[in-house]
Amino acid sequence: MQRTSRRGFLMSAAVAGAAFGLDGPLEIVSSAKAASDADPLNKGFAKFKVGDWSVTTIYDGVWEKAHDPGFIKNATVDETKAALSAAGLTDGFVPITFTITVVERDGKTIMFDSGTGGGQAGGPKAGMLAKRNMAAAGIDPAKISTIVVTHFHPDHIFGLMEKDTNAQTYPNAEIIVPAAEYEFWTDPGVIAKLPPGFQGLAKRIQATMPTWKNIRRIGNDVEATAGIRAVNTNGHTAGHTSYELESGGNKLIVTGDLTNIAPLFVRNPGWHAVFDQDTQKAEQVRRQLFDRAIKEDAVLTGYHWGMPGAAKIKKDGKGYALLPVAVG
């Protein structure tokens, strides 16, 4: 298991409260280009098949983030703006989107991460999963049997708990979490070592998750649940985990925050985001998984790729590009 110092975590904690992302590179239809009610962004969801898995990606909203010279450690704001413009996106701010993946098979409905919790993370334009789009996609929250978590940043876990009471949103679902992530945040000693802005997150996790009887912790590279295998993609956080599904020779990989902003970090996989806990490791696993996905012709979903949030990947010069899947 990767070990990272507390100091290494704190260096990225100032921006980890709401994960970053936006619509994909040139090949992906961006928010600004959506033009009809048939577009996944306007619908709020997209549907497609991977073997006998039915897959739904659901839009949870956007945060229009102001530019920050510390956002990318080895790229300037001007370079960031140029990359956004090249992707057909605004360069006035960074459009940060949130997209949740849900899969269904054999009567089971499995959700990866839980969204911003009605906008508890991500700002006033986030929270569309709970407010509208889950229902629009035909997903009944009461029928979700399992929630599989990639990591514990707020935009990924605040959907598990109610804003004012911390009561479980999905008390009847099994919640599967990476053990390394759980152990970090539930360590009583971590609170005093975190900056004030993140002590509340640790306190909230410690006040909730250890009391939940429906949490199951898993290690690296094991079967998380039937048909879904955990893939060690530590780097963004010490316990960050992606998940692989295979059916009939077809493969889906739910990548979480393996890469966040697609026109920046897919196009330029060597750019280092300040919110990655271990930037070198994050780049290494990003390249490794992308290269394997190309070789295996896998479909990937990305939490911060915008809609439809699902694509195959190809090499493009020194970086990569996304080819969106056909969706319904």
pLDDT range class, residue 275, cuts 50, 70, 90: confident
Find out whether 190 and 237 touch, Cβ atoms under 8 Å: no
pLDDT at 38: 63
The domain over range 6-324 is classified in CATH as 3.60.15.10: yes
Question: Could you read off the pLDDT of 185-210 as tens digits, one per residue?
Answer: 999 999 998 778 778 989 999 999 99
| Of 109, 117, 99, 106, the residue nearest 255 (C-alpha) | 99
State percent of the chain over pLDDT 90. Answer: 77
φ, ψ at 109 (rounded to 5°): -115, 120
Tell me the two tokens of residue 166: 């911390």
Structure-model confidence comparison of residues 238 and 176, the more confident one: 176
pLDDT at 25: 31
Structure-model confidence comparison of residues 197 and 175, the more confident one: 175
**Annotated domain spans of the chain:** 6-324
Question: Could you read off the pLDDT of 13-69 as tens digits, one per residue?
Answer: 333 333 322 222 323 333 334 444 567 778 899 999 999 999 999 999 998 889 999
pLDDT at 37: 54
Q: Locate tokens 């110092």: which residue?
A: 5
